[in-house]
Structure 1
């Protein structure tokens, strides 16, 4: 590419980001991130922003790569604070770079896209994922990284494969990374991998809004998407959901694991039983309810849960996040920052009883 062509590529990256951000099967709410390298400068999506807003909002932040990579190589605490390496004179928004900045910086390719692809996650949460991935991704230069906390631990896991320069990385209990030298090639590769990893989804009846209205009380209402009900309308899906947390963004925006109401319980009954009001409650055979103060990201993750679990075959061996891994996420400053930004996003219009 010509030296100044990066500006054209950056606009192409914004268009690509908005496109994948609008696809709930690829990204949800503030999840996922994209980047472009221009010499020593890494342009990366800001933490807590939505890829879907890439065209109308300035969500890309410039970061100095050389000192960031030095911090990673020396295992310095600063490596977990990418905002320390932001080129502030070129970033008037004051937003922090993505919590995955180290991942993008360590990838040698010029363009990197990290997505929370539903079809990929449905495989990446399975203990028997490897043989399936080996079959479906045959012919591609790909790698698998078992679950590590997003940020520096994940980046170091990816760095172990750096010599092979994989173009596709499946992240255990997390998602997908694809990379290439141009935005167009990255988009084409993402489309190909998504197609190769497509899973059939179990069908489930629609949620029962009338029954849910009688259970909601004053503190709960319907989710933004009717698709979210599917996780409670299928017995196999509900059983998987209450088993624990399957991926990081669920923990951040919905809490640890999932909660199901018992027979005859209302939303208020569940809150009393638990001593706290869960963000989402599953009512088997009826659907789900969301706490009225649930953020847009929580709504997006409620749908994501239903989409992912519907693509996991009944009886498949699942690998849930451990208690320690859940605590790592809930006590991490970088994720608290994302939660703070998410609380500022206007809520979507929903059904009110």
Structure 2
């Protein structure tokens, strides 16, 4: 990367790192950011990289923007990969590259805001968000598989020239003419969507350790404190088994349902669990906390924490829309998501 290009990307890298270090906005390898360099180049976060590392290591991939847009218009299945400015590079562009290319803004930020996720899985989410975002140019996008299907769904709403996209069962996208404008717009949306979390008792770590011991090393207590709220806050625990609320949950924690067990039932279950690789990634023990499968890495830890941040912000009486078995299967059988899983398995 030339010094001039590094200078152009420096503000995006700094903003990306700030976003990536805020778990209320981004969890693990989730989220992506981009910058258009004139009309010729799109620089977008690479798939599987962490925004929090943006100032420590190269995480952006360059693409020929006009070529990418032509391939999208032609209906190519993988329009981003042939458009790489450095085809010999080791990084792949984000799954959401086509969405970044479609939006006209110079800077685009896609985050998995826990405030947005307090509305995005709700069947009445669009109506509720409408009141909070009144006066802004925004659009609600019903759930579509990440990648090209999501881009096509957004394309259908571009006539209204939105600066903000609330993605059903997914997250939030904002655009701006500069990093400063995009960040200010994101801050404004976050302020309007802010939803307080119900207080959650702390984890009962001694009990979780004893239960983990019954599993013969297959499980361990979640390391991130936020994860335990999904089990220790009663309304969240009651909602947790209803299904997956957003794609990254499926990618890094597997398909629904999450086992939600009382401590005595958990002890019985853990004594005779299924084989390690077919065992559920996450087990919630009511009133005690969260157990994660011991072979899982930082990506799973982050998604368990995300669940513990989102569920206490969801109204227990809300009509929820969860991802169905077919939607889960298309994520789990997708090569692009398997690639992200492989990168995150070894992330420190």
Post-superposition, which runs of at least 4 consecutive aligned residues in structure 1 deviate over 6 A? none
Change (3 A) 1:168 1:267: farther
- 2:161 corresponds to: 165
CA RMSD of superposed structures (Å): 1.8
- 2:103 corresponds to: 107
List alignment gaps of at least 5 residues for structure 1. 347-353
Residue 27 of structure 1 aligns to a residue whose secondary structure is coil
Aligned counterparts of 2:10 and 2:267: Cα–Cα separation in 1: 46
Mapping 1:228-247, distance limit 5 Å: 228-247=227-246
Aligned counterparts of 2:221 and 2:279: Cα–Cα separation in 1: 15
**Are the equivalent residues in 1 in contact too, given 2:30–2:248 (CA < 8 A)?**
yes
Change (3 A) 1:271 1:199: farther
Mapping 1:1-353, distance limit 5 Å: 8-38=7-37, 39-79=39-79, 82-88=80-86, 93-217=89-213, 218-257=217-256, 258-262=258-262, 264-266=264-266, 269-270=269-270, 272=272, 276-346=278-348
How far residue 316 of structure 1 moved from its aligned partner, in angstroms, is 0.7
How far residue 267 of structure 1 moved from its aligned partner, in angstroms, is 6.1
**Are the equivalent residues in 2 in contact too, given 1:103–1:154 (CA < 8 A)?**
yes
Please report the TM-score for the alignment, with normalisation by the length of structure 2. Answer: 0.93
**Which digits, 9 at most, give the CA deviation of each residue in 1:308-327, with x for residues without a partner?**
11100111110001111101
**Which digits, 9 at most, give the CA deviation of each residue in 1:50-75, with x for residues without a partner?**
00000010001001122222222222
**Are the equivalent residues in 2 in contact too, given 1:9–1:182 (CA < 8 A)?**
no
Aligned counterparts of 1:265 and 1:243: Cα–Cα separation in 2: 19
**Are the equivalent residues in 2 in contact too, given 1:213–1:221 (CA < 8 A)?**
yes
**Which digits, 9 at most, give the CA deviation of each residue in 1:65-92, with x for residues without a partner?**
222222222222223xx22221117xx7
How far residue 235 of structure 1 moved from its aligned partner, in angstroms, is 2.3
Q: Paired residues, what number?
A: 339
Aligned counterparts of 1:201 and 1:149: Cα–Cα separation in 2: 28
Aligned counterparts of 2:242 and 2:93: Cα–Cα separation in 1: 33
- 1:351 corresponds to: none
**Are the equivalent residues in 2 in contact too, given 1:147–1:174 (CA < 8 A)?**
yes
**Are the equivalent residues in 1 in contact too, given 2:251–2:331 (CA < 8 A)?**
yes
**Are the equivalent residues in 2 in contact too, given 1:231–1:237 (CA < 8 A)?**
yes
**Are the equivalent residues in 2 in contact too, given 1:44–1:60 (CA < 8 A)?**
yes
Aligned counterparts of 1:271 and 1:155: Cα–Cα separation in 2: 46
**Are the equivalent residues in 2 in contact too, given 1:251–1:330 (CA < 8 A)?**
yes
Aligned counterparts of 1:233 and 1:337: Cα–Cα separation in 2: 33
Aligned counterparts of 1:117 and 1:100: Cα–Cα separation in 2: 16
List alignment gaps of at least 5 residues for structure 2. none
Aligned counterparts of 1:116 and 1:279: Cα–Cα separation in 2: 21
